[in-house]
Each structure stands twice: as C-alpha cells, then as structure tokens.
Structure 1
C-alpha cells in the first residue's frame, strides 16, 4: 500500500488484533444469547405454558439486567474489562450446562431462574465491552469498529435464532442448550490473554463512582432525552411484541420454525444498517437515528392482524435496520462525549435505563391482554413506539448527538462533536 492510499475499513481494523479477538468472542456469545431464550420459550410452550410463563422467562433476564447493569458499569471502570468478559462467558456456560442436566426436574418457573442468572452475567459484561472497544481503537475508527462488531453480533443472532428453533424442532431442547454452552465457552477462550489498562486508573469509592456516572448523564440533556425515548419504546413495543410473538407465530404464521425465521429477520435487517453506519457519518446523526427509530413500530404493528410469513419477517427486518442504525451512531457519540474514567458507568446507566421498564412491560403484557385483548395491546404499542423518538428530537443536542455550545456562538460552530462532511454509504 502506498503512502497516498487510504486503508479500507477491514484493512484498518486488521491492525488491531486485540479488537478482532473481542469481536470473535462477542460473536460467539451472541449466538448463545439467542439460542437460549428461543429454546426455553419453545420448551415452555411445548409443556403447556401460557403467556404468563413465557413473559416470566423473558422477565428473568430483564430483571437481572436492571439489577446488575450498574454494578457491571462500576466494575468496568475498576477491574480488567477482558477479565469481566471472560468471566461472564464462563458463568453463562456453567449455568446452561446445569440447566441442560436438570431440565426434566426444573419446573417451568425455574426456567426464569436460568435466564436471570445468565442475564446477571450478561449485565456484568455489557458496559465492559464498548468501554474496552473505545480503549482498543482510535476515535476515528469507532464507527468502523462498532459497525463490524454489530455486524458479527447481528449475523450471529441471525444464525442463533434459526439454529435454536431448528435444533429444538429437529433434535430437542437439550441439544439447543448444549450448543449454547459450547458457544459461551468458545467466547471465553477467545478472551484469554487480552490485557487492559484499567488498573492504571485512579480508584474511588463505589458510591462516588455511581454518582460520577449519574452526573455525566445529567449534564447532557440530549443523553437523558434519548434514554427516555428508548426506554418507552422498549416498554411499549419490545415487551409485548416478544411476549406475544411465540404464540402468534405458532398459531397463526406457521409454527416454531416461523418463530425462528422472524427473529432471524430482525437480526438480518440490521446488517445493511451496519454497512451504512460504518461508512456514512451524517452531519445530524441524531436526526437520522431518531427518525429511523419511529419505524420500530413496525414490529408490534406487523402482529396486529395475521400476515404472510414473508411480510411479517420484512417488518421485523425494518425494525432491526432502524435499531442498528441508531445504536452505532449513539454508541459512537457516547464514546466520544463521555470521559474515559466514567465511560463504563455511563454506558451502564444508558443500558439500565433502557431495560428498567422492560420487565414491567413483560409482566404487564398478560394483564393488559386479558383486559383489552391482543390486537389493541399491539396497536397501542405501535403508536407509543412511533411517537417517542419523534418527541425526543425537540430537545437541544439530540439532533447532533452532541452538547450544544452557548447560543451566542455562530450556528456553524455550535456543536462540540466532530463535524464530518456527509458522504454516500
């Protein structure tokens, strides 16, 4: 390569082998993360479980995320981040193996304990992963790195959803759980030997750490606005959709395999967004992201009336596209805007906020469906989901995903974040 040539995204990232190992580890974990809920929810439905049972299985993971995410964020700024990722995969592998061995003796309610334990380990690792990426890559490559990591994870989710449903249908739940355990173990092996410099940073008390993360969020109203919008969308859109999908897919669309295809479409739709976000940095990434997120309403809307499988899958693919486009721009903005010493805690708070209402949404879906019915519940979820992101754009800073400068500054220089020129994807 000559001095005048610009390295392609792949060539640039190949110069960072530690990042590529993290990429491989998280891809393996993503496969297992998708196999597990597909296998357990289909197993519960096969044993006669109802909406409440499936909601409890999903809520187990969600509650664990809410309870443990902030702890994970504090650990991410105090303990070796690679060690956190490795330990989380080991814990999940052990939990899944125990569930596999004891499956016949587990009551359906015990499946929620399995998802809760795996969710707790996941919560410990979630803030560490993007915080580690920001330390392994230069700022100019964050979109590329986040996009490549998302591409691998979404592709793994696509495979995991199909593999989970296909293995359960063709071989059985135990085989699906065994596959998940193997993938968690593979993710742990990939992290062996990676080092981080977290130990070199000054330490403070746990309470002071948590307060510092809260302060970093409160000082940025645009962060608060986006966090609120996403929390509402997850509560009103994601929770009822994922709770009702196994029943609607099994009874109206084509069975358990269609359930896997629909979930896989959600992941497949994210892949084009990964390519676009990795190559295009718009002047107003917040506007692009939040307007795109209004289309996430396609998920609950697609289940309101029975649709052919390809149409339902296409709607979920649209939802996956919009979420991924938002996520890459949002994560890259936080990695730039938040000081490194509080980045792990801030990332934990943004994720905690997003998941805070998810278990409530899961647990309320059953009573709401009993009160007003399946279709009205999904219609209401679609309307609230579409409105939430549009309202967030009214807050200063959201349009650019950056802190606005004082109003006296000239318009062209009022934004602190990088001002890249627009490009074509």
Structure 2
C-alpha cells in the first residue's frame, strides 16, 4: 500500500509523529460508534429515541463551538499544544462514559458527556487541518502526505473495528469506551512531543475574534467550489451519520444478524477507504473537484442496499465501494483546500466548512428516531440514499467545481490579521 514516496515521507520525523498520533487516536476511536450505539440500545432505559438524543447531543456542540475552534486554531502560537489539550479532555470524557455504562448510569448523563465529547471535536478538527499544513510545508507532496495520513488513520480504524465488535459483544461497551479513552490520552502525549520539536508560529493576532472570523468568512465565500461542496456535504454527512449511528445498526439488528454483521459492514467500508486513499495519492485528475464531487455519490450505496434488504455480501460490496469513493473525495478535497486557501486562514476556513457540513447532522439524528417509529428504518434509509444523489446532482451544476484545475494556483497573500511577529 505504501509507495516509495510514502516511505520517504515517513522518514521525516514530524510527519511520522503526526501519522502515529492519528493512528493511535483513530484506533481507539473506532470502538466509540459501535460501543455508544449498541450500549444505548442495550441500556435498561435505551430506545431508538434515546440513541437519537445521545447522538444529537454529541453532534450539536460541534455546531456551536466549531467556529471558535477555527479562530483558536489560527490565533494560537502552537496548534500542537491546542490539540494536545483537546485530546486530553477527550480522554477524560470517554473514561467518564465508560464508567456510566459500567454502572448503568442514567441516559441523561450519557448525553451530557457525549455533548462534552462534541466540544472537544469542535476545537480539535479545525486546528488539525492547520497542524498538517505546519508539518507538511512542501505543497508539492501534500496530496501524498494527505493520502498517507488517510491510509494510517483508516488502517487504525480497520483494526479497531475488527476488535470492536468482539469487545462489545463479549465484555460490553464500557470496556470498549475505556480503550477509546486510553487512545486519546496516548495521542495527547504524542502531540506534546510533536509540539516540543516544532517551533511556535511567528504570528500574533491583535484584532478581535469577530474580525478574524469575518475575514475567514470572506476567504471561504471567495471560493465557489468550496461553499458549494460544503452545502452538498451537509446533506451527505447528515445521511452518513444517521446511517452509522441509527439506521444501519437497526437494520442490521432486524435482518443481518446484529452487531457482528454491522461491524463487518463498517470494516468493509474502511478497507475501501484504505484502498481509496492509496489510489488517491497516485491520481492526477485535470479537474480534481469534479472527480471528488462525483465520488461522493458512493455514500448512497449502503443506504439504498440496506433499504432494499440486500443480502450481507451485497451490502459489504456496496460499503467497500463507498469507502473507496469517499477517501478519493476526501484526499482531493483536502489537497485543494490546502492549496487554494492561505495558511494563515486555514483553520478558520476549515471551521466554517465543518460548521456547514455538520449543520444538518443533529437535525437528521433528532428526526430519524421519530421517523423510524412512524414508517420504519427501511423507508427512511431509502429516502436518505435519494437525498445523497440529489445533493451530488445539484453540486455538479457549479461551473467552479467542474473547472477547478489540478495545477497549483498562485497563493494569495496572508490575511492582514495574521501579519506581525510576536
């Protein structure tokens, strides 16, 4: 899976530390979705509505705090210290969830801690985009570096999912969540080491946070391909979250065989993502965002196949294909973002994109439970798959998406708020 260029990139200590940190964090995090979903469904007071509430509480804080996370990510001298703190807090949150599941704590407290976990993700994700830019300064290898990080993360996710089903089935969700907490703690330690080996950024923001945010918004809206893609992904991510957190587990329990079968579906998806990320490293499309947008249609495959109650082998094949297409999309999109947006605004623009992409996720999770109760999970899954295809079709209307070239663009000057040394 690793090419000669990937091996050469891994010889760079900072990138190797970053890849290791992502591997460790994602390895443990792979336990989280399965443990949380089946743990709430198996709770004495659990139900589809309770699971919908917990997942919505986890997603909502990301909407509330992600913009602040973007401002922080561009203002702080060390993004590495910021992500170290967020990973440390995440370790405490998931350890608390493990305790609640172990003692049968109330669903309300599970929802509160899930919300706290959402806050840590809101502050972590925009800063991580800036961390990659800080570590991989050479634009000519960023697509390969993004692919390498994706391969590392997806390999960890695959290993975690292969263990998650067995751990949840044999010893329960509490043990799975405790392993998740341990992985966050280890990741925080690795980011601390990476931060010590990386000089602080030679910038200091003297303007207000609101002005920084307005400048980030101006940069975001300057790129049609970016805001159109964000609108499209808002629908796609809502469907993916509803499928992963509620519809998929429920349909798997109804006719595929339960947690072990759903774990296989998720494993097939991640195997596809590993292959897709490796393939994306070698792609040189003349129109990268056109290809990336078309590939997002793959997100409809699991929903449509599960809605049709397709046999497990066919569902696994659909999940595999979706995984390949999704990571081609992610690698190409991230490379275009890092190329077209100035480094000084990368965290703010990333946070605005994240806010847009996550806007519909809590709504989808909140309404999915009642809809399932009214019409059944298969009908809701069918509608979800159709929404994905409609979103892709609308995005392709954008001429900017169809025309954005693959060659490096002339980079804009840094934003005025980023100027100045400390």
> CA–CA distance in 2 between the matches of 1:357 and 1:367?
16
- The answer as to whether partners of 1:241 and 1:300 remain within 8 angstroms in 2 is no
2:309 is paired with a residue whose SS is coil
| Correspondences of 1:6-155 after superposition (within 5 Å) | 8-48=4-44, 49-79=46-76, 80-103=78-101, 104-137=103-136, 138-155=138-155
Partner of 1:309: 312
Summarize deviations over 1:319-364 as a string: whole Å, max 9, x none.
2221111111001101010011111100111111111110001011
Whole-angstrom distance in 1 between the partners of 2:354 and 2:405: 18
Residue in structure 2 matched with residue 200 of structure 1 by the alignment: 202
Classify 1:112/1:390 alpha carbon distance in 2 versus 1 (closer, same or farther; 3 Å): same
Give ranges in structure 2 of 5+ residues lacking alignment: 412-422
Q: Judging changes above 3 Å, is the alpha-carbon distance between structure 1 residues 11 and 155 closer, same or farther for their aligned structure 2 residues? A: closer
- How far off its partner does 1:92 sit? 1.2
TM-score (norm 2): 0.90
Unpaired runs of 5+ residues, structure 1, are 1-6, 404-412, 419-425
CA distance in 2, matches of 1:57, 1:162: 24
Q: What is residue 4 of structure 1 aligned with on the other side?
A: none
Distance (Å, rounded) in 2 between the aligned partners of 1:401 and 1:64: 33
Q: Is contact 1:41-1:57 (8 Å) kept?
A: no
Q: Helix, strand or coil: the match of 1:307?
A: coil
Deviations 1:174-225 (A, max 9, x none): 2212211221121112112323555411302110111111111111111111
Distance in 1, matches of 2:12 and 2:293, equals: 31
Deviations 1:51-103 (A, max 9, x none): 11222222222112212211111111112111122112211111222232343
| Secondary structure, aligned partner of 1:363 | helix
* Residue 40 of structure 1, CA deviation: 1.9
- Aligned alpha-carbon RMSD (Å): 2.1
2:329 to 316, 326, 340: 326
Q: 1:356 to 1:193 in 2, by over 3 A?
A: same
Q: Note closer, same or farther for the CA distance 1:278–1:16 as it changes in structure 2 (3 Å cut).
A: same
| Deviation larger for 63-72 or 195-204 | 195-204
* Structure 2 match to 1:270: 273
Q: Secondary structure at the match of 1:397?
A: helix
Q: d(CA) in 2 for partners of 1:375 and 1:99? A: 30
Distance 1:178 1:366, change over 3 A: closer
Between Structure 1 and Structure 2, how many residues are aligned?
402
Q: Which whole-Å CA distance do the structure 2 matches of 1:373 and 1:182 have between them?
A: 37
SS at match of 2:306: coil
1:221-268 deviation line (CA, Å, top 9, x unaligned)? 111111111112222454245311112112210121112121222211
Question: When the two structures are superposed, what TM-score results if normalisation uses the length of structure 1?
Answer: 0.89
Q: Judging changes above 3 Å, is the alpha-carbon distance between structure 1 residues 67 and 147 closer, same or farther for their aligned structure 2 residues?
A: same
* 1:361-400 alignment, distance < 5 Å: 361-400=364-403
8 Å Cα contact 2:6/2:145 also seen in 1: no
- Provide, for residues 8-36 of structure 1, a one-character-per-residue CA deviation record: whole Å limited to 9, x for no partner: 31233134211211111112111222212
For 1:65 and 1:194, how far apart are their aligned partners in 2?
26
Kindly indicate whether the alpha-carbon contact (under 8 Å) linking 1:68 and 1:120 is maintained by their aligned counterparts in 2. Answer: yes
